Structure 1
Amino acid sequence: MDIQFTKGLQDNYNRIANYFGNQFKVGVMISLASKYTLEKREFSGVALQKIVDQMAAYSKKSLSIQRNSPIPYYIAARFLGQDLETCFESLLQRDTALKEAGFHTSPFRLAGAMMLDEDIHLHTKRAKALYDEMHRKQFFLTAKEDIPYVVLLSKENEHPQRQVETMVQYYKGLRKQGFMLGNALQSLAQILTMYSSEYNDMLLQYVVELRHSLNHKGIKIKPLHYPYLGILALNATDHIKIGEIAEWQKTFMELKMFRMAKEFALIVAIQKVIKELVEVQNMVDMKENLFIENLIDALDIALDVLDFFVLPGSVGDLFDFFR
């Protein structure tokens, strides 16, 4: 195990916790610590806050810079070391395009703006068409936090109705395999369509096998972990990498930062192994132009809301959200 990484992770978490205090949930602070450590950076709250403040001042309230939301801080972390005025102008243009396409103001729209392609106006139209179709088919489960996913899902010119029908197929198929109903399962179903808008039963069975393999390693998979199974599937993660993830998860569980948030140890372990895998494979198993950083950021941003709407199995079976 990389002792330097674990020490850097704990040190970054300590700095983040000391700076933000109780402002954000522990999951947000863990995900920021993971982001900084994976990028071999040392967290500085002063430097990050300075970028957030400058971004808010530059936009003159045109952007949804909400200080009680962690999203501006995720965005600011991506601007470190770059020309800030150029970054702010690009972000403002992209957020405006999403606004003009019909997306309502929210920090999640701002996160989605970060993930738009260069042809932002065509991309925003595709994203809104897909979002509207998702909302029509998945009314209770589709909300503002899905905007970053929608932007990633609409990079290619796919037919929205077919893509959403595939999401529904994955959702229902995974439900039959014992996955719990709710936002996290919807996120997993969405991520699987990044492989193809056509339903692939082998991909679904692969996700089921990934869950089984992690369970076999003594790791209990909770709904919070579902979307990360999607990342593993998209990257064709093999048994050797699953073993590495299990070892890292075990190592992370010994760190103080995970004592009250044990479920996040698996998430950080997945992020570490997948980042290394992607760097080696150059993302050959991902859709063209789909950057793993965007997907992981979208998942991190959604951490606060993934478990908002989970019903017990006996009750959930009474509802069909896809009528």
Structure 2
Amino acid sequence: MTVAVEPVLDTYDEVKKLLRWQFPGTGVLLMTASMYELRGEPFDAERFLALADAVKEKGTWFSPLKQSFRFSLAANLLTSTEEPEQALAEVVRLYEALRRYKFKQGTATYVTAMLLHKQADRDTPLEEHAERTQALYRGMKEKHPFLTGETDYPLAAMLEMRGGELEPLIERIEYFYKGMAERRLQKSNELQMMSHLLSLDDRHDDTEVLANAAAQLEHWKKAKLRLKPVHYPSLAMLALAVGADDVTAEIKAAEAALKKHKGLRWEQDWPLVHAVQLTIHDWLKDEEALRATLYTTIETVQEAQQTAMMAAVTAGVVVGGNSG
């Protein structure tokens, strides 16, 4: 299987040219381009700019909506909703409601609001979703007080929306966290994110899920792919999508093709992250139901990773996670 990277690179070039005076960063540019590719939507520059401007108008002075996040949010709504302007208004309404339920101000709460808009059961009151998400978040924080932060909101919301008791879910997350930490992955927020993602697998028992993740780690190491905390969620995505199968040859080829592009040549982490996403996209072409589920998961990981990367750059760190 050869992963085609040219379509996403073509869109990347279009977006980069369009935003050349905005300086959103490589992560946002690649994220925006890949959303169109993953959903098979053509890039419409006029609609994209119009919605990005509408997003900006919704934000207060220090709001993430005034910053580069507006571009990835606009791309997300344009490629995943039939009425993106109405969806934007609803996301802002849900964000303001979540703030009343003690969610912190920032990008992660907007991502959570977007997930609730697209996935939440409309018969369940928002209050219940908010309370369950906060309860799950608090459970995570009790296990890892120095790791858990607002970037964990989106996956907490995604997990709670699947229903069921929260305490067994918290223990399941911890089982995966400890299992992968024993395999010498760095204890970090990214490892916690990995364990959250593995908990989305409801097709296999816990031991098989962990075995699939461990297999992906071994494939990754044997292929001598760069392994940093920012890549841990990618290992989880592979375990979710392909089980224990080895697709690292395809990933390496896709990463190499991405890094041949002059705008990505010196990027250390984003090309590999997106090579995994594109490989999964190709792998699942004939798995319609599974693919639909994974697309939403991929979006969440993209948003969460982008939030973490932006925070790391602000702190003067290229990539990484807190340990604890």
Contact 1:63 1:92 in 2 (8 A): no
Question: In the TM superposition, what are the counterparts of 1:1-323 in structure 2 within 5 Å?
Answer: 5-21=4-20, 23-41=23-41, 43=43, 46-57=46-57, 59=58, 61=60, 64-70=63-69, 72-80=70-78, 82-116=82-116, 117=120, 118=122, 119=124, 121=126, 122-196=128-202, 200-237=206-243, 239=245, 241-284=247-290, 291-304=293-306, 305=308, 310=321, 321=324
- Secondary structure (helix, strand or coil) at the match of 1:291 reads helix
Deviation at 1:184, TM superposition (A): 1.2
Q: Match for 1:106: what amino acid?
A: G
Deviation at 1:130, TM superposition (A): 0.7
Contact 1:115 1:148 in 2 (8 A): yes
- Secondary structure (helix, strand or coil) at the match of 1:302 reads helix
239-248 or 28-37: bigger deviation:
239-248
Q: Match for 1:226: what amino acid?
A: Y
Deviation at 1:310, TM superposition (A): 3.5
TM-score under structure 2 length normalisation: 0.81
Q: Against the structure 1 CA distance between its residues 250 and 56, is the aligned structure 2 distance closer, same or farther, given a 3 Å change threshold?
A: closer
Unaligned 5+ residue runs, structure 2? 313-318
Mapped partners of 1:26, 1:222: distance in 2? 18
Contact 2:5 2:278 in 1 (8 A): no
Q: Against the structure 1 CA distance between its residues 65 and 92, is the aligned structure 2 distance closer, same or farther, given a 3 Å change threshold?
A: same
Q: Against the structure 1 CA distance between its residues 40 and 202, is the aligned structure 2 distance closer, same or farther, given a 3 Å change threshold?
A: closer
1:230-252 alpha-carbon deviations (Å, 9 max, x no partner) = 11111234536444333323333
Mapped partners of 2:32, 2:85: distance in 1? 23
Q: Match for 1:92: what amino acid?
A: V
Task: Calculate the aligned-residue CA RMSD, in Å.
Answer: 3.1
1:62-104 alpha-carbon deviations (Å, 9 max, x no partner) = 995532242x322211332732442133223432342233212
Contact 1:166 1:193 in 2 (8 A): yes
Mapped partners of 1:279, 1:203: distance in 2? 22
Mapped partners of 2:197, 2:175: distance in 1? 13
Q: Against the structure 1 CA distance between its residues 166 and 198, is the aligned structure 2 distance closer, same or farther, given a 3 Å change threshold?
A: farther
- Identical positions, percent: 21
- Secondary structure (helix, strand or coil) at the match of 2:67 reads coil
Mapped partners of 1:240, 1:170: distance in 2? 20
Unaligned 5+ residue runs, structure 1? none
- Secondary structure (helix, strand or coil) at the match of 1:115 reads helix
Mapped partners of 2:171, 2:301: distance in 1? 22
145-154 or 216-225: bigger deviation:
216-225
215-224 or 186-195: bigger deviation:
215-224
Q: Against the structure 1 CA distance between its residues 199 and 25, is the aligned structure 2 distance closer, same or farther, given a 3 Å change threshold?
A: farther
Q: Match for 1:310: what amino acid?
A: G
Deviation at 1:204, TM superposition (A): 1.7
How many residue pairs get aligned? The number is 306
Mapped partners of 1:35, 1:256: distance in 2? 21
- Secondary structure (helix, strand or coil) at the match of 2:5 reads helix
Q: Match for 1:300: what amino acid?
A: Q
Q: Match for 1:103: what amino acid?
A: F
TM-score under structure 1 length normalisation: 0.81
1:20-51 alpha-carbon deviations (Å, 9 max, x no partner) = 34733322222222223333445455532321
Mapped partners of 1:101, 1:42: distance in 2? 37
Deviation at 1:125, TM superposition (A): 2.2
Mapped partners of 1:96, 1:8: distance in 2? 37
Contact 2:55 2:65 in 1 (8 A): no
Deviation at 1:143, TM superposition (A): 1.1
59-68 or 122-131: bigger deviation:
59-68
Q: Against the structure 1 CA distance between its residues 234 and 46, is the aligned structure 2 distance closer, same or farther, given a 3 Å change threshold?
A: same
Q: Match for 1:13: what amino acid?
A: Y
